[in-house]
A and B are shown apart, each in its own frame.
Chain A
Amino acid sequence: MRMLHVFGPVALAAGLLLTCGGAYAASAEKGKAAYLQHGCWQCHGTQGQGAVTGPKLAPDPMPIETFTAFVRTSNRAMPPYSEAILSNDDLADIHAYLETIPKPADYKSIPLLNQ
């Protein structure tokens, strides 16, 4: 994880999610690790920015319910992740992590994108 230095203190923020096991305090920090561990970053980038391989996930991730349903049952380019290989807790953590990613600057304020 030496390559990832992109998250500030905001990454420590935690969400609260009700899972089948009861109340679970989702952790953005754990979510960052799970995001890498389960290969999400390979197609969506380390900040969920998206690429030709997978759409943008952040900022403003889809609601956790929609997010979970898609990850479990995807029949599109992304393969489905069953609970056996990606737990509900890990999934909640990943979502919490995506929620911490700030909005990018308006491209009009970036000189290199206005050459």
Chain B
Amino acid sequence: MAKKHLPVSRRKFLAGVAVAGAASAVPPAQAATTASASAAPRRPSALPPTAHVAAAESGTPNELSTSRIGGTPGSDFMVDVIKTLDIKYAPSNCASSYRGIHESLINYGGNKMPEFLTCTHEESGVGMAHGYFKAAGKPLMTFCHGTVGLQHATMAVYNAWCDRVPVIIVGGNDLDAAHRPPGVPTIHSAQDINALVRDFTKWDDTPVSLQHFAQSFVRAYKIAMTPPYGPVAISLDAGLQQEAMRDHGEKLYIPRYVPSSPPQGDSGAVKEAARLLANAQNPVIVVDRAARGENGIRLLVELAELLQAQVVDQGSRMNFPKTHYLGRPPTAVNNGDVIIGLEVTDFWGTVNAWIDNGERGIGINTSRIKPETKLISISSSELLTKANYQDFQRFQSVDVSMPADAEATLPALVEAVKAAIPTDRKAAIDKRGEAAKKAYAEQRERTKQAAALAWDASPVSTARLTMETWAHIKDLDWSLVASSGDMSNWPQRLWPMERYYHWLGRSGGSGEGYGAPASIGAALANRDLGRFSVSIQADGDLMYAPGVLWTAARHKIPLLAVMHNNRGYHREVMHLQRLSNFRNRVASLGGDLGPIGTRIENPDIEYHKLAESMGWWAKGPINDPAQLGPALKEAVAVVKSGQPALLNVWTQPR
């Protein structure tokens, strides 16, 4: 696309190179003589050589002293643009459609800021960027082939979209159908590669000039990094990368990046929300992605303590300390008279229940709350609603709705609540706090006693796995970078999570294959920050793109991966069992321990050998809980030395 404006097109230039190459096969002096012979009468051969011939005989050939493209590659300028934005890594799978910028990055750019990390799958690159951001608070970029690579990447992009995580995706694409190489490169080209991900990215563009690229890239970064965060895509023409920078008589410039402030709730709505909360008998705060860092946690604690309100943390981020007496399970909404949801994606599902056990296969809808309960929502998700994919969940009417960033709105809300609390309510609020402390202590007792059930079972109980792991990391500056959702939430129930990085949340889109790459991306960030990373790695998740294990070993990313290997797609097990029961049929197991098609056994996958083959220290299978502690001790020592380690633990289903 860019080359249509060139005085000499890329293809013509290449043709010229071919001609020049043929000419250069002729000895320079002869070439010069031949050239002059056609222009002048014959001269005696004994004359001294001309300056041109002398230079041709003794000088450095042009093709060795300058770039074949006759100038500075456009992709060098692109690297200059990228370097202004503090992007540390580019985990990517290599591809010809972005070879221009790849070459510039590693040679011209010195492979720093960003450093190219070799991935074996595009989904791994995006997943690593996803996990990295949640640990570091800074985005990464990833390059991919515009068509086949981006198709590989899409599930991970959808996860990032649903999880409100910025990732900058640059897809190579050769737009010029008249000049691009035929065959595979043409199959791998498209009119509009960004169409693949447009429904679940915040913004995309296809720059047609270098100045356009500079604007688009800085804009993409800015959009991705403005809450609500999200992935963005840039389609990068192969011609624009590979051609020389041209002189338009106008100097190229790189726009300065200035962060945008996040959107804050309307002051009138904040005041009304405060009035409702301050006068509530039993206010409940529900949080999902409310905190974007330590400041968000601090603000939530301040709001909760001000009201002595119970807090239900749905866990897509580390929002509220697990050691705080106001933390409560999801059922706390049942008795709330005012419920405020902060960055809650599924408000309907928060205040209602859906039971997959209705007549004729239709689920049962029930309300969890009283009809008079007042609902308040502060959520930036409303600013990012698109039509096609249904991540916006069921519609829930609320009494006060603020399409705004919760963390940015909290300071104003805290002040408004302070002003709104009637003096005669303060004693009742304090009493509410005392009751919450008692309830919290009782809940802790019940949780620990529940953890003791099946403590010595083989396969290992998920509670035992959780606490055996805890014993080996509790004295470190630890970060649980990802955890299988099928662990009955034992880490969140038993570990004293208090810092933002103690728990990085889940995938967002519930797309399998997130855990492994996101763990490794987060571990990369934690490595640079001096933290110890641990993940609880599900078996099914690991098999989507296990090559990311190699990336971790190759780039020396330390991570302790403790497997929750229940040898099946457990959620699907129950779907099949449920449907079999509804249809009055015995579920066919086919020799496995679950309905046909839902188990990962016969043969069992030896994940420890898989990891070992890619450069990890690994051990397993561990079926006896007594063996877990010693294995963890070894594994932690390996990780502390800077290497990744995996334990293949056979576990109870949940």
- Interface residues of chain A, those whose CB is within 8 Å of chain B, are 3-6, 36-37, 39, 41-43, 45-47, 49-53, 56, 74-82, 84-85, 104-107, 110, 112-113, 115
Asked whether, in the complex, the Cβ of B577 is within 8 Å of the Cβ of A77, the reply is no
Asked whether, in the complex, the Cβ of B653 is within 8 Å of the Cβ of A42, the reply is yes
* CB contact under 8 A between A107 and B452, given known A75-B364, A112-B471: yes
The contact of B454 among A45, A84, A106, by CB within 8 Å, is A45
Q: Does B570 contact A (CB under 8 A)?
A: yes
Would you give 16 A-B contacts (Cβ < 8 Å), ordered by A?
A: A4-B458, A37-B589, A42-B594, A42-B653, A45-B454, A49-B461, A50-B450, A51-B654, A53-B653, A77-B357, A79-B578, A79-B581, A85-B585, A107-B451, A110-B455, A113-B467
Shortest distance in angstroms between A110's beta carbon and chain B's nearest beta carbon?
A: 6
Asked whether, in the complex, the Cβ of A49 is within 8 Å of the Cβ of B357, the reply is no
Asked whether, in the complex, the Cβ of B452 is within 8 Å of the Cβ of A106, the reply is yes
Q: How many angstroms between the C-alpha atoms of A74 and B42 in the bound complex?
A: 108
Asked whether, in the complex, the Cβ of A76 is within 8 Å of the Cβ of B573, the reply is no
The contact of A75 among B357, B462, B585, B593, by CB within 8 Å, is B357
Q: Does B151 contact A (CB under 8 A)?
A: no
Q: Does B587 contact A (CB under 8 A)?
A: yes
Contacts of B594 in A (CB 8 A): 39, 42
Q: How many angstroms between the C-alpha atoms of A76 and B458 in the bound complex?
A: 29
Asked whether, in the complex, the Cβ of A53 is within 8 Å of the Cβ of B461, the reply is no
Shortest distance in angstroms between B649's beta carbon and chain A's nearest beta carbon?
A: 13
Please encode chain B, from 572 to 597, with 1 for each CB lying within 8 Å of some chain A CB and 0 for all others. Answer: 01100110111011110100011100
Q: Does B356 contact A (CB under 8 A)?
A: yes
Q: Does B440 contact A (CB under 8 A)?
A: no
Shortest distance in angstroms between A9's beta carbon and chain B's nearest beta carbon?
A: 16
Please encode chain B, from 436 to 474, with 1 for each CB lying within 8 Å of some chain A CB and 0 for all others. Answer: 000000000000111111111111011010011011001
The contact of A47 among B448, B457, B650, by CB within 8 Å, is B457
Asked whether, in the complex, the Cβ of A84 is within 8 Å of the Cβ of B584, the reply is yes
Contacts of A50 in B (CB 8 A): 450, 453
Asked whether, in the complex, the Cβ of B461 is within 8 Å of the Cβ of A39, the reply is no
Asked whether, in the complex, the Cβ of A77 is within 8 Å of the Cβ of B581, the reply is no
Contacts of B474 in A (CB 8 A): 115
Residue in A closest to B623 when the chains form the complex, CB atoms: A3
Asked whether, in the complex, the Cβ of B573 is within 8 Å of the Cβ of A82, the reply is no
The contact of B652 among A46, A56, A77, by CB within 8 Å, is A46
Q: How many angstroms between the C-alpha atoms of A77 and B364 in the bound complex?
A: 10
Q: Does B489 contact A (CB under 8 A)?
A: yes
Contacts of B488 in A (CB 8 A): 51-53
The contact of B584 among A37, A75, A82, by CB within 8 Å, is A82
Q: How many angstroms between the C-alpha atoms of A75 and B578 in the bound complex?
A: 12
* CB contact under 8 A between A75 and B355, given known A37-B589, A39-B573, A46-B459: yes
Asked whether, in the complex, the Cβ of A76 is within 8 Å of the Cβ of B357, the reply is yes
Q: How many angstroms between the C-alpha atoms of A67 and B319 in the bound complex?
A: 39
Instruction: Give the 4 A-B residue pairs with the shortest CB-CB distance, closest first.
Output: A51-B654, A49-B453, A49-B454, A79-B581
Asked whether, in the complex, the Cβ of B586 is within 8 Å of the Cβ of A85, the reply is yes
* CB contact under 8 A between A45 and B653, given known A52-B488, A82-B584: yes
Q: How many angstroms between the C-alpha atoms of A35 and B397 in the bound complex?
A: 43
* Additional pairs, 19, CB under 8 Å, beyond known A36-B593, A46-B459, A49-B453: A3-B458, A45-B457, A45-B653, A46-B457, A49-B461, A50-B453, A53-B653, A56-B450, A75-B355, A77-B355, A79-B357, A79-B581, A79-B582, A104-B454, A105-B455, A106-B452, A110-B455, A113-B451, A115-B471
Shortest distance in angstroms between A65's beta carbon and chain B's nearest beta carbon?
A: 21
Residue in B closest to A3 when the chains form the complex, CB atoms: B459
Q: How many angstroms between the C-alpha atoms of A107 and B444 in the bound complex?
A: 11
The contact of A107 among B364, B449, B581, by CB within 8 Å, is B449
Q: How many angstroms between the C-alpha atoms of A70 and B113 in the bound complex?
A: 61
Q: How many angstroms between the C-alpha atoms of A78 and B574 in the bound complex?
A: 9
Asked whether, in the complex, the Cβ of B654 is within 8 Å of the Cβ of A53, the reply is yes
Asked whether, in the complex, the Cβ of A42 is within 8 Å of the Cβ of B578, the reply is no
Q: How many angstroms between the C-alpha atoms of A39 and B488 in the bound complex?
A: 18
